[in-house]
Amino acid sequence: MAEAVKVVDDVTFEDLLANPYPVFKRVRDLGPVVKVEAANIMMVTRFDDIMAIERDPETFSSVNPQSLLNTVIGPNLMRKDGADHARERAAIDPSLRPGVVKRCWAEPMQAICADVISRIEHKGEAELFEDLAAPIAARALCDILGIDGVDWPTMVLWSQSLIDGSGNYSHNPEIARKAKEAARGVESAVNRMLPHHRDNPNASMLSSMLQAGQTTEQIYANIKVAIGGGLNEPRDSILTLILGLLQNPDQLARIRAEPSLWGQAFEEAVRWISPIGMYPRRLTRDVEISGTLVREGEQVGLCVGAANHDDRRFSDPEKFDVFREKKSHLAFGAGSHFCAGTWVSRALVSQIAVPMVFERLRNLRLKAPELVRVRGWVFRGPTHMPVVWDA
């Protein structure tokens, strides 16, 4: 007989925001699908269950008529399945493939990182969220999207406003207003750039969508997806990788002696603190997930952050260990919606930004470990990281 979904009702939303990993562990040990009242979601937290779900998109659909994401940014590729999704995905992929990243984006990303670092290099101290990671991630994204003339704080504001609007289940009017304003800002930037990309086909995402014959509505929506989903994560993973290495100087020393290890270090950082902790799927029929019955129409939260700490797969999962046994993780998701920005993020964070930080900020160290703040559960990363170095 199938088991019913268990319920956890003594965890607060603040517990999740402060540190979801103890909650994830408890939920993972309790059952394959557990309703967590504070988040109002049924969590799937085990690695193998999420992999199995992602192999069956007909049962576990990305389409959701109630999705606030669609309301806020318009019908977009993240909430589509099958051929509808594949067409829109094929329209953006040409600007994000590994070869294109190498040929077209590596050099501008290198120049952005060099510029951002040169502004702080002489100071001997900085707060790395605001002074380093946010400007690098936002400016790199502008180049890749093909948007000029928008400064990085505006990109950060748009990204956060769209994310907040997509999670605004309490219908807070101020959050809704800001999300609308951000959506209008993105649309007017797109309108301003379209003639240039029409006349000068290039590798940017905007140009790629035009070349694929996407409608203006599709372009608006998927550029908003990329702004909402392509800024925080590289920003947060830059900071997470730096944090992991500053807390583990022996690992840093080995990587600096053998730079081919930077890629491995990045994968460990996003496993350790996954920038996206959870994303949803909706059931198209009644189904058992490892013996627990979930009904048609229900939504489950695939907690990839939890799966990346599943001790059935990763030993000592709470530990940052670049040299752990090599195994794939779920930080970029899996299946047809696997992150489109994976290769650009790998290049930006592990080949360019973080190696340059350790190269140019000599003897980099945390100003005081207790000043570091890490927060969030659906999106998680360091939010405050003061450091010092020998200027």
Residues 6+ apart with CB under 8 A from 168: 68, 72, 175, 176, 179
Supply the minimum distance, in Å, between the C-beta of residue 136 and ligand HEM: 11
Q: In terms of CB distance, is 15 or 81 closer to ligand HEM?
A: 81
DSSP string of 221-280, one letter each residue:
HHHHHHHHHSSHHHHHHHHHHHHHHHH-HHHHHHHHHSGGGHHHHHHHHHHHS-SB--EE
Supply the minimum distance, in Å, between the C-beta of residue 141 and ligand HEM: 6
Supply the minimum distance, in Å, between the C-beta of residue 368 and ligand HEM: 27
Q: What CA–CA distances, in Å, run from 27 to 20, 281, 308?
A: 10, 18, 14
Supply the minimum distance, in Å, between the C-beta of residue 226 and ligand HEM: 5
Residue closest to ligand HEM (Cβ): 341
- The residue to which tokens 């408890």 are assigned: 26
- Of the candidates 40, 44, 47, which has an alpha carbon nearest to the alpha carbon of residue 13? 40
What does DSSP assign to residue 212? T
> With contact defined as beta carbons under 8 Å apart, do 197 and 210 qualify?
yes
Supply the minimum distance, in Å, between the C-beta of residue 68 and ligand HEM: 14
Q: In terms of CB distance, is 144 or 182 closer to ligand HEM?
A: 144
Q: In what order do the strands lie in the sheet with 125-127?
A: 125-127, 386-388, 365-366
Residues that bind ligand HEM (CB under 6 A): 77-78, 89, 141, 144, 225-226, 229-230, 233-234, 237, 270, 275-276, 279, 304, 331-333, 337, 339-341, 344-345
Q: In terms of CB distance, is 161 or 237 closer to ligand HEM?
A: 237
Supply the minimum distance, in Å, between the C-beta of residue 44 and ligand HEM: 13
Q: In terms of CB distance, is 121 or 333 closer to ligand HEM?
A: 333
Q: In terms of CB distance, is 142 or 389 closer to ligand HEM?
A: 142
Q: In terms of CB distance, is 109 or 120 closer to ligand HEM?
A: 109
DSSP string of 168-210, one letter each residue:
-TT--HHHHHHHHHHHHHHHHHHHHHHHHHHHS--SSHHHHHH
Which helix (H) or strand (E) segment holds residue 144: the answer is: helix 134-145
Q: In terms of CB distance, is 289 or 304 closer to ligand HEM?
A: 304
> With contact defined as beta carbons under 8 Å apart, do 337 and 50 qualify?
no
Supply the minimum distance, in Å, between the C-beta of residue 91 and ligand HEM: 11
